């Protein structure tokens, strides 16, 4: 059984036992979190699709780590104009492991 969840403005297809990195969630390492924004749940012909959410469906996950991705370097330049701009960005993430998908 799998579910399609929405967190951090993105959608993820998850199943029990999977690990994934999502946008930062304020939680301690080892803490269990419940994601209730479930867009679809089931498998095969037993698929329930919400409009927009499936009522009563939840996904339970455990927080494994908090961290930041590698630096993305931004470089802007206008030729012949003596304009150069350098910038960097590191996006924060939360690594979670899906424990259960409850329909």
* Position 88 in a domain: no
> pLDDT tens for residues 63-92?
999 999 999 999 999 999 999 999 999 999
Q: Is the pLDDT of residue 44 over 90?
A: no
Q: What is the mean pLDDT of the chain?
A: 96
* Position 81 in a domain: no
Check residue 103 and give its pLDDT: 85
Mean pLDDT of 34-39: 96
Instruction: Give the total number of structural domains in the chain.
Output: 1
Q: Whole domain around residue 15: which residue ranges? A: 2-67+94-102
Rounded Cα distance between 8 and 91, Å, is: 12
* Position 73 in a domain: no
* Position 34 in a domain: yes
Rounded Cα distance between 9 and 36, Å, is: 14
Q: How confident is the model at residue 14 (pLDDT cuts 50, 70, 90)?
A: very high
The token pair that represents 8 in the structure block: 């951090």
> Are the CB atoms for 98 and 2 separated by under 8 Å?
no
């Amino acid at each position: 059984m799998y579910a399609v969840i929405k967190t951090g403005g993105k959608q993820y297809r998850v199943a029990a036992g999977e690990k994934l990195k999502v946008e930062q969630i304020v939680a301690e390492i080892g803490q269990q979190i419940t994601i209730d924004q479930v867009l679809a749940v089931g498998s095969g012909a037993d698929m329930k699709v919400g409009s927009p959410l499936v009522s009563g469906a939840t996904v339970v996950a455990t927080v494994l780590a908090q961290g930041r991705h590698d630096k993305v370097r931004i470089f802007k330049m206008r030729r012949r104009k003596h304009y150069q701009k350098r910038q960097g960005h590191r996006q924060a993430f939360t690594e979670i492991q899906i424990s259960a998908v409850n329909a």
